[in-house]
Amino acid sequence: MSFTSDLDLKNDRPFYDFDFLTNDGATLLKSKWAPKTTYDLVAEKMGDGHGKLDRWTINDLLAGVRGSEKGLCSYGEVLSTCMGLINQSATARPMIQEAMSQKWKIALFDLKGGDYWIDVEEKLVLLDSNTLTPSALDRSVYFKNMIIVTLIKALRDIWQEKRHGGFDENYKAEHVMTLERVRAADCDVLSLIVAWELRSGSYGDLWRHLIGSENGDMAMAFSSYLERNPAGQFNGQAAAAAFRQWFRCETRVNTCDHNTLEYLDDVMKETQDQNPFGMKKATPTGIEILSCLPDRTAYLQGQGSEILADPLYCGMEDPINQSHLFHILYDLEATIVENVPFRDARLARRIFPSLESSATARESSKAE
């Protein structure tokens, strides 16, 4: 199944938005990607004094964060070490400076397996602590590298969010699927670029970590291209090779599609508009712009048309995601009154004349 012929896309990769609620003095975090999961940001007492969610500005992290008053390691200390390493990358440095100028804050929290969460309004990034204490994170090279990779992807997502926002506001629901895939793949590609730059510098552990991670195939595609053509690091061709490899893993693609479809469902539930999505279609130029690096190199330059036409990039093989997408498109085409779907809006008004202007009726832009 290919969905780009008539489709448009929405914003992440992975973009995550949050609603903050107050419950008996506790701050609750609710993700639009997983609306049934609510996180209590007042963490359980962990015995080392870190019972409250602490947030740090990027400026503070770069300046260096000390341990707690008891002399114990803090999450801020771990994040400060990670941010200092990332700041040594020429590609990551502009993204860090931009996030710092916008006063973004970063915190570690048990997301129960999630990579990271972004609240645009609060300018807050949550990274998964993997249920580890600060001292355990500081001692573990593996989990510290995991935080570094996740932080790089979050910084790239912030960079993209400022320039493109949510795709659902401008694009058709179908095209949001493609744009979200491109954005998610781009975040993973950026983590490879930064890790390679750090490998050439003073921190080679991060590249070895990526080779052994779930994105190891992308790392091998990146390095294999550079072995044949060293200039690929500077003209974007190595990044393009890693980008193509991202789409060759069904698990990555299906997970991204599932998250996007869940987001589209939430958008439809939270509005009474006939069609909450835009009317634009994804264009080759729009795809290529998403690959622009801070140095203005677009590693997908000239490949936008291929991405919109090649089933490798726009095909959907998972039957569950196919069914989910079809249901969304059906709901957009139908007029729903009292949970009864109608293909013909005039018929719905005849059967429910008293509810013609009711807010419970949602008509798509395709309905008459």
pLDDT of residue 43: 40
DSSP line for 244-301: HHHTT-HHHHHHHHHHHHHHHHHHHHT--SS--S--B---HHHHHHTTB-TTS-BTTT
Domain ranges of the chain: 18-327, 334-368
Alpha carbon 259 to its chain's center: 9
CA neighbor of 145 nearest in space, from 233, 85, 221: 85
Q: Are 243 and 217 in contact (CB under 8 A)?
A: no
Q: Return the SS3 of 332.
A: helix
Q: Three-state DSSP class for 22?
A: strand
What is the pLDDT, as a whole number, of residue 115? 84
Paired sense of beta strands 124-128 and 105-109, if any:
parallel
The string of DSSP letters for 333-355 reads HSEEETTEEES-HHHHHHHSGGG
The first and second tokens of residue 315, run together, are 């095909």
Q: What is the pLDDT of residue 37?
A: 36
pTM: 0.79
Whether the CB-CB separation of 118 and 80 falls below 8 Å is answered with no
**What pLDDT sits at residue 336?**
67
Cα dist. 275→11, 55, 339, 356, 362 in Å?
17, 37, 16, 17, 8
Q: 368, 333 in Cβ contact below 8 A?
A: no
**Residues 75, 76, 77: CA angle, nearest 5 degrees:** 90
CA atoms within 13 A on the CB side of 228: 8
Give pLDDT, residue 339. Answer: 64
pLDDT in tens, the chain (368 residues): 544 433 333 333 333 333 333 233 333 333 333 333 334 444 433 333 334 578 999 999 998 876 555 556 889 999 999 999 999 999 999 999 999 999 999 999 888 877 888 888 889 999 999 889 999 998 999 999 999 999 999 999 999 999 988 898 899 999 999 999 999 999 999 999 999 999 987 789 999 999 999 999 999 999 999 999 999 889 999 999 999 999 999 999 999 999 999 999 988 888 777 688 889 999 999 999 999 999 999 999 999 999 999 999 999 999 999 999 998 888 887 666 666 666 666 766 777 676 554 434 444 444 44
